[in-house]
Structure 1
Amino acid sequence: MRNKLSKLAIGLLAATAISAAGISGAQAGDAEGRYAVKGIGLMPCQTFVQAAQAGQGPEVALAMSWLSGYLTAANMLLDGTYDLVSWQNEAILANALVQTCAALPDQPLAVAATQVIRTLGPDRVATAEQPERIVVGDNQTALYPSVVRKLQQALKDAGQNVTVDGDFGPGTRTAITAYQNARGIEATGFPDPVTLISLFAGQLPPQQAAAQPRPQQPLPQPQPQPQPQPLDMEPVKPALGGPGR
């Protein structure tokens, strides 16, 4: 859990979770605003954070398995949603859950998970797509074509010469390599999590941001993108009601 993605995840998911969906006014299952949570979702956030910081114990693995099931259920129940996790990997989600839980120490894990899920809404894949397998050297991943297009558009907005077509080809690899060089990220041409976070959230690992050389000319600023419709979380309600219940 102690890796270079931890602080990035705060800005990407966790830092916006509370403001994006405060739990005090949320609706819940019964007339008193409560419903039953099962399994490890009842674990106090403080316990989960302590286990994650210690880097040991079964709690973290169980929590991530539970979150995977929660995400699957959310994909099934939320309108206009095929996949909430469009590009974030398990390390990003785990760190986001840790940081969100750290801000909600007295709440159960299920409440923090709901906040993380809410923040995934703008990046969700709305309709079914076939992920594209991407192999660069010894690295491989899979990205949805819509995410590849978003990646290409972000590269273009950052001043790179790339075609926005949803096809991850040699031109996209070259543009990623140039972007990584410009941002002080290891230049592999591979869309690793650090590069994706930098492109999609405008963040760099602290050590890389500090070491990044100042360009003589200002880098082009990303153009504002249309904001997706807010994610309707009505079917996925926080557990145990709001604070004090």
Structure 2
Amino acid sequence: MRFLTLRSAAAQAAAALCLLVTAAAPAFAAPVKNIVVVHGAFADAAGWRPVYNILTKDGYHVTLVQQPLTSFNDDVTATKRVLDSLDGPCVLVGHSYAGAIISEAGNDDHVKSLVYIAAHAIDAGETIGDNGKKYPVGPLSIVGTPDHFVYLKPTDYPSQFAPDLPRAQADFEAHAQIPLAASEFSAQVSDPAWKTKPSWYMVAKADKIISPDLERMYAERAHATTVEINGASHAVFESHPREVAALIEQAAQRSGQ
């Protein structure tokens, strides 16, 4: 009988210890499953299909924003409209000019982290145009319209925007691009979300649209987790979809609720 009593006491002590360890252990949050992608200038969301396919296959819910590119405020509003439709937290991704959009819209409570893909992570008081002058690239074939919209000359698009894509694919992208309001280049962010939310950044080392050194400055300033892709053009989301998807998934895994 005394043996049984001792064994019972030992079992009770073990159970109590187990409860104590469980209570003390940190609660690991589930990864974020919503991904919202905002495309950049001289493009549309269709080019993100390869990244979309990888992410959805891996179990993520991906929404692509087709912002109108009529003004910075219109584009931020279109992005917030998508964020408002979500039923949980998300990772917000922006390419190129859309880096400015996600820096503004990223203050939304749904957004847990930001991913910049060769994108402008501007600060308050800065503009894309001014930063581009500080970190110049080669001449770009930007064409203006009478109503103050701009686009990249289709014949020069493959060599400037997407030299690492097959020519036929780059030609298609050149004729699928959406003209954007010239005023977008002077847009300003009031309160950059990268100052308070974790960020990830991909530098396209062969980018001819945004200087890779400017991309590095953005990434360092935001204290972003950064990767650099050799030989990648501005169209890195199309030429290196696996690497882009992997970076987004890393952000999702580390940005739990």
TM-score, shorter chain, exceeding 0.5: no
**Higher strand proportion (structure 1 or 2):** 2
Bigger helix share: 1
Q: Greater RCO between the two (CA within 8 Å, min separation 6)? A: 1
TM-score w.r.t. the length of structure 2 is 0.28
